[in-house]
Amino acid sequence: MISGLTLSERQAAIAILILGTMIGIVMAAAAAMRADAMEIHGYIVALYSLGLLAVVLRGYFAPEPDDTRLASYYDDPSKAGIILSMAWAVFGMFMGVWVALLLAFPDMTFDTAWASFGRMRPVHTTGVIFGFGGNALIATSYHVMQRTSRARMPGQFSPWFVLLGYNLFCILAVSGYFMGITQSKEYAEPEWYADIWLVVVWVTYLVLYLRTLARRKEPHIYVANWYYLAFILVVAILHIVNNLAVPVSFAGAKSYSAFSGVQDAMTQWWYGHNAVAFFLTAGFLGMMYYYLPKRAGRPI
C-alpha cells in the first residue's frame, strides 16, 4: 500500500491524516460539552486517522516506486476494496439474520436500545447496500476504467483516499444507528457531518474517474464507463439535495431537514427511488457490461 506511493503522496497522506485526527479530537471535545453522542464519532474519526497515520509512517522510508509502475495498471486499491466489500457483506448479512430473528423472537433486544428493530434494520441495510455494494462498485470501477481506457489511474493517493474515506463514512453511519444518531430517512439515515464527509469523498471519486478517462489511449469510451459515471454523478446529486439540513448545533449530531412535511417526504423518496436506479442498478450494469463478456469470452 505505502510502497506504491511517491514521497509527495506520502506527505499528502500524512497531512490529511493529521488534519483528520485534529478534526476528530475537536468533534469529541465539542460534543462532550453537550453530552452528545457525536463525541463517540469524534473518537472514531481520530482513531481511524491515527491508525492509518501509523501505517503511513511505518512505510514512509520505503523506496519510492520507479517509473516502470506507469507501464502497468494500479490494482492495489481494487484488491483492498474487494476484501472490504466481503467483510461488509458478512457483517451486513449477519445483522440481517438478527433483524429477521427479532420478528420471531422480540426478546432478542435484551432490553437494550441499540438492539431494537428500529436501530438494527438500518445497520443491516447500510452494511449490505453501502458497505458491500458500495465497496464492490468502487473497487470494480477502478479495475474497469483502467482497462477499458488503456490508461493507469492518475496517481496512487486519490484511489486510496476515496476507498478509505468511503469506509469511514460507512463506519460512522453504522455506529451512529446503534447510538440513535439518525435522520430517520430510509437509506439516507446518517447525520449532517457524515453526509458532508461523503460529499468530499464522492467529488474526489468523480474527479478521479474523469481524469482517468481524459488520459485514455482508447478513443472509444466503453459502455461500462457511461454506467459508472451515471452512478457516480446522479448519486452525488441525490445525496446532496436529499440531505440538505440545518444542524441544531455544530457540537451535536442532530439536524433538521431543509424541507418540511410533504415536501420532505417527496424529496426523500425521489432520493430513495433513484438511489435504487443509479446505485443498485446503473453501477452494477457497468460492472456486468465488462465482466460478463470478459468471462464469456464473447464481446458485445
pLDDT single digits (tens) 235-259: 999 999 999 999 999 999 999 999 9
Tell me: pLDDT of 212 over 80. yes
Nearest to 114 by CA among 132, 102, 97, 128: 102
Q: Which residue has the cell 496517481?
A: 155
pLDDT, residue 67, reads 79
What's the rounded mean pLDDT across residues 140-163?
Answer: 96
pLDDT, residue 275, reads 93
pLDDT, residue 241, reads 97
To 10 degrees, the CA torsion angle through 117, 123, 129, 134? 170
| Alpha-carbon gap, residue 74 to 237, rounded angstroms | 29
- Residue 299: pLDDT band (50, 70, 90) is confident
pLDDT, residue 116, reads 94
What's the rounded mean pLDDT across residues 77-103?
Answer: 97
Q: Which residue has the cell 457490461?
A: 289
Tell me: pLDDT of 4 over 90. no
Q: Which residue has the cell 523506496?
A: 63
Tell me: pLDDT of 276 over 80. yes
> What's the mean per-residue pLDDT of the chain?
95
pLDDT, residue 68, reads 77
232 contacts 198 by C-beta, under 8 angstroms? no
**Amino acid of residue 276:** V
pLDDT, residue 235, reads 97
What's the rounded mean pLDDT across residues 17-39?
Answer: 95
Q: Which helix (H) or strand (E) holds 255?
A: strand 255-257
What's the rounded mean pLDDT across residues 270-296?
Answer: 95
- Residue 70: pLDDT band (50, 70, 90) is confident
Mind listing the pLDDT tens digit for each residue in 161-184? 999 999 999 999 999 999 999 999
Angle between helices 7-33 and 157-179 (to 10 degrees): 20
Nearest to 179 by CA among 242, 244, 136, 116: 116
Q: Which residues, 6+ apart, have CB-to-CB distance to 45 below 8 Å? A: 20, 21, 23, 24, 27, 168, 172
pLDDT, residue 1, reads 75
Dihedral (CA of 123, 113, 268, 38) sign: negative
Look up the pTM and report it: 0.95
The strand ranges marked E within 73-174 are: none
240 contacts 273 by C-beta, under 8 angstroms? no
pLDDT, residue 197, reads 98
**Amino acid of residue 219:** P
What is residue 261's three-state secondary structure? helix
Mind listing the pLDDT tens digit for each residue in 96-134? 999 999 999 999 999 999 999 999 999 999 999 999 999
